[in-house]
Structure 1
Amino acid sequence: MSQFGLGGLSGLNGLNGDGSGAGAGVPGMTGDGVSNIPGLNEAIAKALAQQNGGAGVAPSGIPEQVKVYREQYHPVDIDQDGRISADEAAAYASWMFRRRDITGDNVLVAREFAAVEKLPGSSDANRQRLRTESRRLELLFPEFDADGDKMITKEEFMAQVHATYNEKRGAAADIDPFSFQTVLPF
């Protein structure tokens, strides 16, 4: 999430998606979403070392896998349990909707929905990625536009996200971050 300029929970404007800043008082978390749980880094490093048979994990410090996880999912995984709950998914989806709603009219038109951000790298690689990603989102637009009026309301968006989340989690209470990547279209 660092590519979006987010510094933790404060970038989400609170857990409930209304900008109230609620959630800064999560136990073990500081107001900016930084973990303050003693021994967490060491426990994660030890678990990864056991899982990987000791290979690829530095004897001291935070393993690269943990750094990547925190950069990508830290703002979504509020309680840092390595799983994305329905509440965490809903808060993030609400934030993403607001972020995409460029005009602030509480609906996404095809242009807003299919907007793709340029990433660091060569302009040729970006041009192809932007074209492909924008086309993919154009094709997904009708799935989110439940009433076919060429506009996606926040309710339509959240209903589709909720349905996709429930499909991915099945009977489980929550989903892993990698499955969560496929819940939102962007």
Structure 2
Amino acid sequence: MGSHENPAPGVAAIAREVEEFVASGGWDQPPQLFALVSTEALLREQPELAGQLDGASALTPVAQEPLEEADLAETLGRIAWPQTVAGCAIAQEIIVLPPSAEAELSGDDIARLRKAAADHPDRTEARLVAAVLRDGPAACVMRLRGYSTDDGEPVDEIVEHPDLAPNLVEALRATLIP
């Protein structure tokens, strides 16, 4: 233990907070980007937010304009956050396929591959949130879309692991490089 404890519980909590916020709007939403800013600085600039912000959290996610459905990597490649932004997070809906589907989905035609994945009988729809702090730690949370149980209530499964989306984490990290 000691000084080598996991430094990322804060960013994991932010990833969960972003996922819960986006989840409150339901499914079928475009990708959403969030700036992670100092709660203290935000309250100094906008004291009227005091009742809406969790003062116990050092960072507050601030939703940005929804992203276009275009190439996410290309869009992120054009973003450079100012130094006042301590980190960023993104929420996007994805399709998760079993490893057995990989062989039948090969080739370079991205549009065809997306359609094949969307139509795959064993697909699972999911919402992935990745959050990264400027000083290093990252976290990922994924909500697997559940379907109705016997009583009609949908059951979503939450998976949390910092390495769920390494490419997305690296793309977010690149937006924070001065």
The normalised TM-score by structure 1 is: 0.22
Looking at secondary structure, tell me which structure has more strand per residue.
2
Query: Which structure ranks higher in relative contact order (CA pairs < 8 Å, sequence separation ≥ 6)?
Result: 2
Higher helix share: 1
TM-score by length of 2: 0.23
